[in-house]
Amino acid sequence: MPHETGTERPTSSESAVYEGLTANGFGPFFGTPCGVLAPLLSLLETGADYHVVAREDNAVGVAAGASLAGAAPVVLMQNSGFGQSVNALASLVVPYRIPMLLVVSMRGTPPDTTTENLPMGRLTEPVLEGLGIDYEYLTGEGAARQMELAGSVVKEKRQPFAFLIRPDEFAWKA
């Protein structure tokens, strides 16, 4: 059990995810900013090979190029941007079997009740299933084990894989 003292802080969820990503050789990282992912993006900005991309499907395209060159790239996006990226995944990543890790925040799912995000909140999992991309909800507690699994899918099985992030997994508040 982790213990708290006056000087130590419990490991935050975003730190555990960050550690898991870097410990398993993932990178480079391509992200389009998202409030839910902001704490993780801050860590990547300072400590990793991180690039901001203006639009999510372009991030998928750049990551596909990095993957062809032998990297294990990660694309970080909100699920609204996942909607934007469906064709890039459906006509490039999946049929060409280009491995990469997607980290997708789940706006429009509890506790996020913003109306404009509800439809994509409902659609994200069915679309991933339709694409044939395996996914799991990522948690700080499970990150070490989950990142190892993702590493084996992306680097050994050579398949794309997605982690979904609940809106309140890091510090986001409705």
Partner 1 sequence: MTMTKTAAVAVALATAPGLPTVFTTGFISRIGAVSAQRNHFYMTGSMGLALSLGTGIALSSGRTTLVVDGDGSLLMNPVGLIMAGARQDLPLIQLVLDDGVYDSTGGQCSPGRSVDLPAWARACGFSRTHTVDSEEGLEKTLRSELENLGAPVFVHCLVTADTTPPPPRVTDHLEGITARFSEFLQPQT
Binding site for partner 1 (CB under 8 A): 28, 51, 53-55, 57-71, 73, 87-88, 90-92, 95-98
Can you spell out the DSSP letters for 128-152?
HHHHT-EEEE--TTTHHHHHHHHHI
* Structure tokens given for 3: 């213990």
CB of 148 to partner 1, least distance (A): 23
CB of 14 to partner 1, least distance (A): 25
CB of 34 to partner 1, least distance (A): 17
* Count of alpha carbons within 13 angstroms of residue 26, beta-carbon side: 35
CB of 156 to partner 1, least distance (A): 14
> Among residues 48, 147, 62, 136, which one has the least CA distance to residue 98?
62
How many residues in total does the chain contain?
174
Name which of 83 and 142 has its Cβ closer to partner 1.
Answer: 83
Name which of 54 and 174 has its Cβ closer to partner 1.
Answer: 54
